[in-house]
């Protein structure tokens, strides 16, 4: 069976919100080409898996998902297409090991998805055969990724209708020792302010209340464009977009935080007082090994600048434990930092060896059990900090964006206040009333746990 126009296409999207945006663009292209989208693989004529390859766990999930979808292909689907970061990095390997795949598209080659699923696809590399005579997948992988979507790209958003991700740049130029993203996503390439503003305006017109700005490095937005437009200038441009209530910043970098940017966050009511700054570590020796380009002093000063100039700011960060060369003293410095600074939201991950990175070649490896124990210790420490900070909100009134009926029980609503980002932070459970998804309500906090709040709509 060929995937002619009018066939059913099933998508699986793995990984981060940046990958979700790519999936939504592919959905738009597939739909524009005359295909229908289906909800289960059993109904699909073509299955598309958009993969992640950032850490070992993500790679394993991607491989397992491809194998699972290959089983569905045996029953009905004509084609299995794999795209995303795993495809970019391991195209030849997965083509050899999983011949059920028909097409492999790199991380910036997914705009070819409509051609890939069509009967007369025109790939960059011809179909080949294995030594055993089996047909191997067609591979289309650009060595240096260069694509980024614009506001005219067809897009079908998935998930809640009142919140959306907007990718303002793609790729990264930073040399962090542990990170493979520059090789998977290519050099930084920013969209123009006009183009981003047009997309945000359209989202506002569609009923979106919350816009989450994402990139590999948000604070370096515009450095690659003529005239070097800044993130601060972009925020000023879109802050007054009709319909938009919150604009949230994800993936900022500590050394690139300008005073102008802080002033815009503090002064524009629609910019959520929430800053996501992946710090990764605090010890100067470890930061140098990680090639982060800043020191502990810069980090401490940034936290002080943000808190003193943005009242009520919520700070989120991520850290790596067990990076090659991390000593007990270095780990101790990280524990002291979390205790002293009391960040609001923290994620900690064990170091994952990424072939092709500088860190993968470093000596003084930390045993996996030690790295895992360090992660557990930091997360237990942060859980207590988080609970204490959330308990301070009990009795206060908060503005809450309603996400819908709670996943825990249909007797409660579920929403978020400005200090909770979709999908990664906790939620506010709402009792004593009702409101539609996308509504903005006032609620009084009645209880707090390590990550979540309970609140009443009866004020």
Q: What is the pLDDT of residue 381?
A: 98
Torsion angles phi and psi, residue 319, rounded to 5: -140, 155
Superfamily of domain 397-456: Nucleic acid-binding proteins (2.40.50.140)
Q: How far apart are CA 447 and CA 396, in angstroms?
A: 11
Q: Give the pLDDT confidence of 360-370 residue by residue, as tens digits.
A: 999 999 999 99
Whether residue 126 has pLDDT greater than 60: no
Q: For residues 349, 350, 353 and 356, what is the CA-based torsion angle, rounded to 10 degrees?
A: 30
Quick one: which of 273, 319, 251, 317 has its CA closest to 419? 273
453: closest CA among 412, 375, 247?
412
Q: How confident is the model at residue 4 (pLDDT cuts 50, 70, 90)?
A: low
Distances from the Cα of 331 to the Cαs of 68, 88, 280, 373, in angstroms? 39, 34, 12, 11
Q: Which run of H or E residues covers position 296?
A: helix 296-309
- Using the predicted structure, report yes or no on whether residue 256 has a pLDDT greater than 50: yes
CB 162 within 8 A of CB 437: yes
Above 60 in pLDDT, residue 110? yes
What does residue 342 show for φ and ψ, rounded to 5 degrees?
55, 65
User: What is the CATH number assigned to the segment(s) 163-391?
Assistant: 3.80.30.20
Q: Which fold has domain 8-140?
A: Rossmann fold (3.40.50)
Element (H, E) at 15: none
| Rounded-to-5 percentages of helix, strand, coil across the chain | 35, 20, 45
Residues 52 and 13: their CA atoms lie apart, in Å, by: 9
Please count the CA atoms within 13 angstroms of the CA of 441 that sit on its side-chain side: 27
The pLDDT score that the predictor gives to residue 368 is 96
Determine the angle formed by the axes of helices 259-267 and 231-238, rounding to 10 degrees: 20
**Could you tell me the pTM of the whole model?**
0.93
Q: Where are the domains of the chain?
A: 8-140, 163-391, 397-456
Q: How far is CA 304 from the centre of its chain?
A: 26
Instruction: Tell me the pLDDT band of 218, cut-offs 50, 70 and 90.
Output: very high
Instruction: Name residues whose C-beta falls within 8 Å of residue 325's C-beta, 6 or more positions apart in sequence.
Output: 285, 286, 289, 362, 363, 364
Residue among 395, 312, 347 nearest 55 (CA): 347
User: Smallest Cα–Cα separation from 43: which of 80, 4, 85, 8?
Assistant: 8
Distance CA 18, CA 20 (A): 5
């Amino acid at each position: 069976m060929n995937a002619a126009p009018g066939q059913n296409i099933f998508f699986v999207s793995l990984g981060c919100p940046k990958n979700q945006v790519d999936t939504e663009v592919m959905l738009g292209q597939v739909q524009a080409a005359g295909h229908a989208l289906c909800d289960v693989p059993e109904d699909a004529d073509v299955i598309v898996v958009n993969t992640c390859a950032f850490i070992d766990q993500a790679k394993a999930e991607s491989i397992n998902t491809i194998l699972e979808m290959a089983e569905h292909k045996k029953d009905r689907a004509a084609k299995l297409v794999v795209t995303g970061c795993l495809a970019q990095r391991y195209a030849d390997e997965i083509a050899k090991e999983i011949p059920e795949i028909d097409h492999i598209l790199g991380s910036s080659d997914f705009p070819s998805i409509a051609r890939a699923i069509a009967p007369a696809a025109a790939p960059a590399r011809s179909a080949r055969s294995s030594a055993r005579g089996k047909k191997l997948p067609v591979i289309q992988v650009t060595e240096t990724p260069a694509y980024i979507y614009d506001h005219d790209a067809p897009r079908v958003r998935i998930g809640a209708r009142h919140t959306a991700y907007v990718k303002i740049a793609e790729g990264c130029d930073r040399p962090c020792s542990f990170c493979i993203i520059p090789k998977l996503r290519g050099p930084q390439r920013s969209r123009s302010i006009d183009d981003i503003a047009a997309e945000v305006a359209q989202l506002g017109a569609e009923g979106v209340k919350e816009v989450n700005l994402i990139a590999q490095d948000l604070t370096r937005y515009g450095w690659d464009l003529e005239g070097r437009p800044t993130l601060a200038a972009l925020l000023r441009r879109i802050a007054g977009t009709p319909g938009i209530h919150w604009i949230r910043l994800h993936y900022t970098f500590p050394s690139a935080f300008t005073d102008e940017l802080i002033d815009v966050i503090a002064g524009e009511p629609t910019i959520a007082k929430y800053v996501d700054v992946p710090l990764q570590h605090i010890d100067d020796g470890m930061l140098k090994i990680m090639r982060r380009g800043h020191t502990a002093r810069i980090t401490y000063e940034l936290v002080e600048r943000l808190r003193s100039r943005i009242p009520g700011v919520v700070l989120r960060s991520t850290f790596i434990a067990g990076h090659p060369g991390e000593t007990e003293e270095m780990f101790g410095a990280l524990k002291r930092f979390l205790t002293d600074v009391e960040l609001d939201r923290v994620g900690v991950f064990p170091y994952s060896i990424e072939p092709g990175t500088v860190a993968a070649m470093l000596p003084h490896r930390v045993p996996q059990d030690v790295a895992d124990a360090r992660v557990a210790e930091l997360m237990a420490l942060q859980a207590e900090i988080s609970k204490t900070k959330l308990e301070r909100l009990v009795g206060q009134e908060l503005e809450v964006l309603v996400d819908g009926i709670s996943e825990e029980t249909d007797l409660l609503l579920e929403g978020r206040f400005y200090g909770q980002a979709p999908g990664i932070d906790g939620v506010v459970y709402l009792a004593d009333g009702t409101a539609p998804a996308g509504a903005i309500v006032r609620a009084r906090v009645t209880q707090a746990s390590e990550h979540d709040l309970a609140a009443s709509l009866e004020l």
